[in-house]
Amino acid sequence: MSTQKDIRQQAGTVDENPLRLEQGKAEQVVEALNTDLAATYVLYHQLKKHHWNVEGAEFRDVHVFLGEAAGRAEAAADELAERLQAIGGAPVAGGKNLEAHAPVEPEDDDVYDIRTSLENDLEIYGDIIESLRDHVDLATNLGDHATAEILRQILVEVEEDAHHLDHYLEDDTLVVSE
């Protein structure tokens, strides 16, 4: 652990920003982005869990999809953290802090069948989609059009992944049970 004692910015605070987003507006956007950041990391870890544990006839396709989806979630989290830092915020960090700040509930540590796992993932995706939509509106209404655009781009990818998950959960399959 570092022995440095100088804190550059306290967690949960919003400093002035060079983008000239007024302090009160920046505080609202930072709070929204930290919520989305936390939810995205909860999703990321759950997707990785399912990526590691998937089995069965459709293993390869689902395994690859979950790995790629986790990669997209990680990239989105990075983009959210960098944006909120740019407008003066401190990104929420650390496993316990992320989970506490997230509006989504991860499944427990047990390993479930892949259908249950994907249903749990789809539930988190739905919650994140609703949050992103609300935060696009918030950022737009506050005049933070760049943040709104970043959130829109993330929303498109999140919706696409949710759509693919929904297809995996359909009952039409080439796999037959005996």
User: pLDDT (tens digit, 9 = 90+) per residue, 143-159?
Assistant: 999 999 999 999 999 99
- Could you tell me the pLDDT band of residue 178, with boundaries at 50, 70 and 90? low
Statement: residue 2 has pLDDT above 80: no
Domain ranges for the chain, please list them: 23-168
User: pLDDT (tens digit, 9 = 90+) per residue, 6-20?
Assistant: 887 778 778 888 888
Give 47's Cβ-side CA count (13 Å radius): 26
- Could you tell me the pLDDT band of residue 32, with boundaries at 50, 70 and 90? very high
Burial string for 48-59 (b: 16+ CB within 10 Å, else e) reads: bbbbeebeeeee
The yes or no reply on domain 23-168 and CATH 1.20.1260.10 is yes
pTM for this one? Answer: 0.91
For residue 1, the model assigns a pLDDT of 58
Q: Please give the structure tokens belonging to residue 93.
A: 């960090």
